[in-house]
Amino acid sequence: MLEQMIQISQNVLEKCLGLEGKEAFVVVTDDVKKELAESLYEAGKRLGAEAMLMVMSERERSGQEPPAPVASAMMQADVVVCITEHSLTHTQARKKAAAAGARIATMPGITEDMFLEGAISADYSKVKDLTESVTELLTAGKTVRIEKDGYVLSFSIAGRNAIPSTGLYLIPGESGNLPSGEAYIAPVEGTASGRILIDGSVAGIGRLDSPLLLTIENGRIVEAKGEAGAKLLEILGDGDGRLLGEFGIGTNDKARITGVVLEDEKVYGTIHVAFGSNNTFGGTLSAGVHIDGVVKKPNIYIDDQMIMENGELK
């Protein structure tokens, strides 16, 4: 099994990040994901890179910054992989490292099963093409309307640029999740209103046994009904964590709903909304938390044009 993990890691490092011999390669991990991180570290060494493994204590929630020495190492590396329990994607550390030219893949919550099956095995050139066309649709749009089971949530995306997470990070400064396959955007803060039924999974909670109904007014969650409602509000806190920060569309046909949002939000046929920080991708919210919720098979309208019907992109 270990040898298989190292082989897959090598493949990912070569194909998705273009890691070459002599490049400075930093693997950032925590106590929870250290074992998986060691496979990546070993793979980096085999590819001739100057590989380093940095282990920190587990963060309390997604979006929380890593320690300063870790952030500094990320900025000085050519290639960074963050394989941690909670996500470093929406942190200043990731943003600054990318600005300094690092090629970065974040793998929050990844499991051994996800390493061996599912989204990681996708044809990433195909994922890239679909992701880029969805990104263009979002960037050109002004309004989004999400409809599912009679509930409607609408918000503005006017003047915001969408971000492609293609799974291929080969140019200095490119970064995103692995496994990947999504296009996402920061909705205009305070514009969201309506209700949305989250029925896939929620970051930090897992796969949902029963759906979660969120009521949103002026961009903010005012009510969360369902088994996971109280837990979600507790994770988000009482401040800006409750504001809508992201809208994304999954583009990976190999991804599965596993209860780990890293893979769940990439599933073709789903969309996701996240609450909390979005200042790392074009928004203005800095909440120290970023929590995604996945919705299966919705109808999506951009500027009143249906672009997704029951999960199928048109």
pLDDT tens across 29-53, in order? Answer: 999 999 999 999 999 999 999 999 9
φ, ψ for residue 265 (rounded to 5)?
-75, -10
Give the position of tokens 């400075």.
Answer: 24
For residue 68, count CB atoms less than 10 angstroms from its CB and return exposed for 0-12, middle for 13-18, buried for 19 or more: exposed
CA-wise closest residue to 181 among 291, 115, 255, 117: 255
pLDDT tens across 127-159, in order? Answer: 999 999 999 999 999 999 999 999 999 999 999
Q: What is the pLDDT of residue 296?
A: 98
How far is Cα 190 from Cα 219, in angstroms, rounded to an integer? 4
How far is Cα 29 from Cα 10, in angstroms, rounded to an integer? 17
Q: Where in the chain is the domain with CATH 3.40.1830.10?
A: 2-116
Give the mean model confidence (pLDDT) for residues 202-214: 96
CA-wise closest residue to 78 among 95, 103, 96, 110: 103
Please check the confidence at residue 66 and state whether its pLDDT lies above 90: yes
What's 43's DSSP letter?
H
How far is Cα 301 from Cα 13, in angstroms, rounded to an integer? 37
Helix (H) or strand (E) holding 235: helix 229-236
Give the position of tokens 């599965």.
Answer: 256
CB atoms inside a 10 Å sphere around CB 310: 10
CA-wise closest residue to 298 among 149, 131, 195, 194: 149
Judge whether 85 and 158 are in contact, CB under 8 Å: no
- 35-44, 82-91, 118-127: segment of lowest average pLDDT: 118-127
Judge whether 236 and 221 are in contact, CB under 8 Å: yes
Judge whether 272 and 256 are in contact, CB under 8 Å: no
Task: Please provide the average confidence, as pLDDT, over all residues in the chain.
Answer: 96
Which structure tokens are listed for 90?
A: 């929406």
Please check the confidence at residue 116 and state whether its pLDDT lies above 90: no
Q: What is the pLDDT of residue 1?
A: 86
Single-letter amino acid, residue 306: M
Q: Which CATH number fits domain 2-116: 3.40.50.2300, 3.30.1330.10, 3.40.50.620, 3.40.1830.10?
A: 3.40.1830.10
Judge whether 39 and 5 are in contact, CB under 8 Å: yes
- 2-11, 51-60, 149-158: segment of lowest average pLDDT: 2-11
Q: How confident is the model at residue 118 (pLDDT cuts 50, 70, 90)?
A: confident
Q: Which DSSP string do the residues of 158-172 spell out, in sequence order?
A: TT---EEE-S---ST
How far is Cα 277 from Cα 239, in angstroms, rounded to an integer? 11
**Omega before 67 cis (within 30°)?**
no
Please check the confidence at residue 115 and state whether its pLDDT lies above 90: no
CA-wise closest residue to 100 among 46, 164, 173, 171: 173
Q: Which DSSP string do the residues of 108-146 spell out, in sequence order?
A: TT--HHHHHSGGGGS-HHHHHHHHHHHHHHHHH-SEEEE
Bridge partners, residue 220, by sequence: 217, 243
pLDDT tens across 240-282, in order? Answer: 999 999 999 999 999 999 999 999 999 999 999 999 999 999 9
**Reduced to 3 states, what is the DSSP secondary structure of residue 211?**
coil
Q: What is the pLDDT of residue 167?
A: 93
Q: What is the pLDDT of residue 121?
A: 83
